[in-house]
């Protein structure tokens, strides 16, 4: 079962592809199902795959260490965002660029159908079709750049709020 071309054309990182290139991408995407509550990827694990959400919703979370008392530190998960199929969302995209640890945990909020591709399969496809590889990587760079800008703005807001709170 491969994803429909019309659906893939709505995914941000694939929007610049020709119909033939989109078809080639569909051939390296494998469907996988997760039940609600299942962990899809865990922060700190080695990242090797990108996921496209075909149906359902996932939660993106980070592990935080909180201090509750002098010697009482506890780890907790903080949900950062929810991604939905209707938003044509992808996650795990950094794995296509670098083999590094996962930066967040992703959990199925509902039963989900995802399409996954490995870094290895994508790089092989990009080598065979350089224009396709360039287009996808350029879109990934745009997406990551926008996320970095948003994160920078969030850090400024948090730093300002913390500064105000500590000065009182």
Confidence label for 22 from pLDDT (cuts 50, 70 and 90):
very high
Higher pLDDT, 64 or 42: 42
Q: Tell me the pLDDT tens digit for each residue of 123-142.
A: 999 999 999 999 999 999 99
Count the neighbouring beta carbons within 10 Å of the beta carbon of residue 106. 23
Token duo for residue 64 = 């935080």
Segment 160-166 shows an average pLDDT of: 81
Can you tell me whether residue 71 is helix, strand or coil?
Answer: coil
Instruction: Please tell me the total count of domains within the chain.
Output: 1
The answer, yes or no, to whether residue 77 has pLDDT greater than 90, is no
Name, in order, each residue with C-beta under 8 angstroms of 4's C-beta and a sequence gap of 6 or more.
26
CATH number at residue 98: 2.60.120.10
Confidence label for 2 from pLDDT (cuts 50, 70 and 90):
low
CB of 104 closer than 8 Å to CB of 80 = yes
The domain in which residue 24 lies consists of: 5-167
The answer, yes or no, to whether residue 62 has pLDDT greater than 70, is yes
The structure's pTM equals: 0.83
Q: What is the mean pLDDT of the chain?
A: 90
The rounded distance, in Å, linking the Cα atoms of 83 and 102 is 17
């Amino acid at each position: 079962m491969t994803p429909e071309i019309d659906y893939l054309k709505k995914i941000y990182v694939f929007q610049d592809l020709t119909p033939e290139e989109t078809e080639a991408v569909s051939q390296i995407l494998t469907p996988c199902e997760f039940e609600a509550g299942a962990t899809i990827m865990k922060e700190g694990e080695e990242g090797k795959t990108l996921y496209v959400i075909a149906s359902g919703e996932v939660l993106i979370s980070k592990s935080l260490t909180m201090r509750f008392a002098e010697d009482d530190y506890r780890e907790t998960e903080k949900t950062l965002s929810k991604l939905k199929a209707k938003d044509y969302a992808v996650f795990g995209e950094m794995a296509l660029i670098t083999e590094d640890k996962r930066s967040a945990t992703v959990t199925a909020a509902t039963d989900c159908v995802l399409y996954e591709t490995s870094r290895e399969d994508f790089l092989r496809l990009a080598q065979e079709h350089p224009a396709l590889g360039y287009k996808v990587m350029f879109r990934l760079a745009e997406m990551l750049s926008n996320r970095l800008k948003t994160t920078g703005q969030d850090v400024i807001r948090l730093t300002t709020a913390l500064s105000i709170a500590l000065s009182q």
